């Protein structure tokens, strides 16, 4: 799992600056002691490291703590402000994230700067208060899904992906690519397979394009909350990607 954060108002970097991630993997609103649920840090202490800390339901009762095998983490001020990036391993070990494609997990992230005990300058979801951010009951929702769906065929190579969050509140920007000529259709479908909105249709030449879905159907009405699918088809070959709509 790849995560990144910008801290645009903080231009320095000192020991114990960190980017933190909380994962409630089974969405039971509690930290489980028999799973890899807990808190990950990308922490700068004269160099970068990723530390795993699993939590009991009452923070700060820590029951497992240590380096994350297979994780990568880095911080930088090369662009004039502090940035963090991390790659966390998926799997069943205690220091891995027990989630995969199709899973919905609780997720919260934060940036803590200015050294040990410094201020928490931002977190997501932003509705959480400073006293709530380590509590799994206040985590947001994250859906694991493929970055892109693709199919190979003798006629065309199709690539379809949505740019932006898995949960759509305003609009979604959809990027799609076809390597060959053919008749293309791009639409949004509900879980029953019914066409909701046609985003593109007609003959296509090779290249990458972008479409916008504003959460309306073909009649211009705003769709209800729920799960929808974007489907790209070129000459009978198709690729799809899932989207969840919340108003």
Phi, psi of 137 (to 5 degrees): -65, -15
Residue 30, both tokens: 């509690």
Cβ-contact 162, 148 below 8 angstroms:
no
Q: What is the pLDDT of residue 163?
A: 42
**Structural domains of the chain, with CATH:** 2-143 (no CATH), 149-245 (2.60.40.2550)
Strand-pair partners of 208:
177
Q: What is the pLDDT of residue 221?
A: 93
Residue 148, both tokens: 């892109």
Measure the CA–CA gap between 9 and 223, rounded to whole angstroms. Answer: 38
- In tens, the pLDDT along 29-84 reads 887 766 667 778 888 887 777 666 655 455 555 555 566 677 778 888 888 898 88
Q: Is the pTM above the cut of 0.85?
A: no
Q: What is the pLDDT of residue 197?
A: 93
Q: Are strands 149-152 and 48-55 parallel, antiparallel or unpaired?
A: unpaired
Q: What is the pLDDT of residue 220?
A: 93
């Amino acid at each position: 799992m790849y995560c990144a954060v910008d801290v645009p108002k903080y231009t320095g970097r000192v020991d114990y600056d960190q980017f933190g991630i909380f994962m409630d993997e089974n969405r039971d609103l509690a930290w489980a002691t028999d799973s890899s649920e807990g808190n990950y840090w990308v922490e700068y202490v004269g160099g970068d490291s990723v530390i795993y800390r699993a939590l009991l339901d009452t923070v700060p009762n820590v029951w497992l703590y240590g380096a994350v095998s297979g994780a990568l983490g880095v911080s930088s001020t090369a662009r004039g402000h502090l940035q963090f990036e991390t790659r966390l391993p998926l799997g069943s070990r205690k220091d891995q994230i027990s989630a995969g494609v199709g899973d919905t997990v609780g997720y919260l992230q934060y940036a803590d700067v200015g050294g040990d005990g410094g201020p928490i300058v931002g977190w997501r979801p932003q509705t959480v208060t400073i006293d709530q951010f380590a509590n799994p009951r206040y985590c947001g929702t994250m859906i694991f899904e493929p970055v892109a769906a693709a199919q190979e065929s003798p006629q065309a190579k199709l690539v379809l992906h949505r740019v932006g969050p898995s949960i759509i509140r305003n609009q979604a920007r959809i990027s799609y690519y076809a390597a060959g000529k053919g008749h293309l259709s791009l639409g949004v479908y509900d879980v029953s397979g019914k066409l909701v909105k046609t985003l593109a249709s007609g003959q296509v030449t090779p290249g990458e394009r972008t479409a916008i879905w504003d959460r309306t159907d073909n009649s211009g009405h705003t769709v209800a909350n729920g799960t929808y699918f974007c489907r790209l088809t070129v000459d009978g070959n198709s690729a799809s990607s899932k989207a969840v709509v919340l108003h």
